[in-house]
Amino acid sequence: MEKIIVIGGLSAGPSAAAKARRENEQAEIILFEKGAHVSYATCGMPYAFSGVIDSRDKLMVVKPELLQNRFNIDVRLNEEVININTKGKMVFSNLGSYNYDKLIFATGARPVVPPIANIKLARNWSTCRSMADFDKIVKLGLATASKHITVVGAGLIGVEVAENLIEAGKKVTLIEGASHVLTMWQKKFGDFLERILTSEGVEVLTSTLVSKFDIDKDGTIESVITKDGNRIPTDFVILSVGIKPNTDLLLAEGAESIENGALKVNEFMETSIKDVFASGDNVSLKNLQTNAFDYFPLGTHSNKGGRAAGVNALGGAISFKGAYKTAIIKVFDYTLARTGMNATALEVQGIPFKTVLTVSGATPGYYPGQKDLITEIYFDPETERILGAELFGEVGVDKRVDVLSTAIYANLKITDLSQLDLAYAPPFSPAKDPVVVSSFVAENIINGKSEQITVEAFYELLNADSQEDYLLLDVRSENEYERGTIPGALNYPLDDLRNHMDLIKSKNKNIIIFCQKGLRGYLAERILRNNGVERISNLAGGFKLWSMFSDQIEVPEVVV
């Protein structure tokens, strides 16, 4: 009879144990969990702070009794494995020693606690990773007279916590050491979301590090002190600055890992040590785009990896090939998503790429409540293969990012997207879906019919005092122009553009066109090109994106 030991009871461990049982009724399966709970939803914790998830019990996805009774798994709660001898195939806990035939190591990761002065003396702070953390935050941060909470770290969890604390009626300061929140995304997208957070009442401090907690004689934090000397009075602090894989036991046995300690596993979830499998936030998977080991600490991968480990520990051959950094987050009424490699990652890898950005309706203009969707796609200029994408909007972001994630897995070209048979009905999509629109625009760029300039590149140009080198044309209506435009822009409305052709040609300058979102700019570009004007760029996303990206807005004087 095969004996399987699983270490870790959060997500990958129970997934592995349950799948192993489904594959083999006779195997002896023991699951060790050092805490008092198994299979709880850490990703759901922020939403329980605000009451969106209305009870603590709903965070308990699977109870120990279910694993014991339905799956006949020997669940050992509050029993911590403290040593492993992989040569002798033994594990040692705080209560005893056990032999195994196959070991599944699913110990996850622990929160990083930065070296903040007085943190060891302070009591009213917590990380946000375990049920013990959740209970402490609820008890000291939410169910008391605490009015202000400081969240340190603006990654996925930190931003979600900040949002839900606002919804719970707290005042919130969000502190991030990097230049923008949500550093998985390009800076402009992080900045877009920062504006949303600020508009909803979150005080956001970027490029800021915490150096000290000011505490009273009882160890209560009274204020947070930043390295630049800023003092933030607060009642509670939540730390969400990163995680470190719990892999020390196997590293001591010689297991191979990446720099952060995450264990290298192959597609069958086997570590470099014979008969030892691993899955969850403690492993490094292959990045399917770079073919290098990478770190993907998300629940989707933990569950898929655990399932594969459970089968393969019993002789199966299910593969989990890897991932490529698909992620999504809701913040108030907005959603931000990504998949694959963005511009920053591509530059680091030295991979050539082109960018196409569109602003289009997630639903038709005639259907009530239309919202814009910003889609930026990165693709290979030679093969046209899609390399990555980032999206921002209020409606339909999840649908489109999953389409683009699937396209990356299938090695589709950006020009293939216009051929997809996507679901269409007015409540869900316009006749030309934003994904299809991105493909159309990319085709025009590839075929030399259009050229985009990003807001980042134009910002550098505008601030380089080189306006004499280009002519900036605002092709929106006069009313739109008068409400605000980009400094230095001339207003030649699209429908009147042909009447200014001779003047435009006489300037003999590089021309940058913009409208509100991009479509009229493209139409203006075609008019000019078809009249012999060649040196033209269309500002990607138009004035809408510029106004989200930059504070440089000019309100022209109206001559009556």
Under a CB-based contact definition with an 8 Å cutoff, are residues 404 and 416 in contact? no
pLDDT at 469: 83
Under a CB-based contact definition with an 8 Å cutoff, are residues 339 and 388 in contact? yes
Residue owning tokens 């093969």: 383
pLDDT at 429: 96
Q: How would you classify residue 200: left for phi > 0, otherwise alpha for psi between -120 and 50, otherwise beta? A: alpha
Residue owning tokens 């709660």: 77
Residue owning tokens 């972001």: 397
Under a CB-based contact definition with an 8 Å cutoff, are residues 422 and 429 in contact? yes
Q: What is the pTM of this model?
A: 0.95
pLDDT at 560: 47
Q: In what order do the strands lie in the sheet with 81-85?
A: 81-85, 90-93, 97-99
Between vectors from CA 23 to CA 21 and to CA 25, what angle results, nearest 5°?
55
**Quick one: which H or E segment has residue 339?**
strand 334-340
Nearest to 221 by CA among 295, 299, 118: 118
Total residues found in the chain within this entry: 560
Q: Decide: helix, strand or coil at residue 486.
A: coil
Paired residues of 244 in beta bridges: 110
Instruction: Return contacts of 311-314, CB within 8 angstroms, 24+ apart.
Output: 311/19, 311/20, 311/23, 312/268, 312/269, 312/270, 312/277, 313/4, 313/16, 313/20, 313/102, 313/104, 313/277, 314/2, 314/4, 314/20, 314/23, 314/24, 314/27, 314/102
Note the pLDDT tens digit of each residue in 540-560.
999 999 999 999 999 987 654
User: Mapped to the 3 state alphabet, what secondary structure does 206-236 carry?
Assistant: CCCCEEEEEECCCCCEEEEEECCCCEEECCE
pLDDT at 465: 65
Low-confidence ranges of the chain (pLDDT < 70): 465-468, 558-560
Strand 452-453 versus strand 470-474 pairing type = unpaired
Q: How far apart, in whole angstroms, are the C-alpha atoms of residue 89 and residue 540?
A: 59
Under a CB-based contact definition with an 8 Å cutoff, are residues 89 and 103 in contact? yes
Query: Interhelix angle for 542-549 vs 455-462, to 10°?
Result: 70
pLDDT at 95: 96
Distant-in-sequence, close-in-space partners of 159: CB < 8 Å, separation ≥ 6: 174, 181, 182, 193, 197, 329, 331
Under a CB-based contact definition with an 8 Å cutoff, are residues 30 and 67 in contact? no
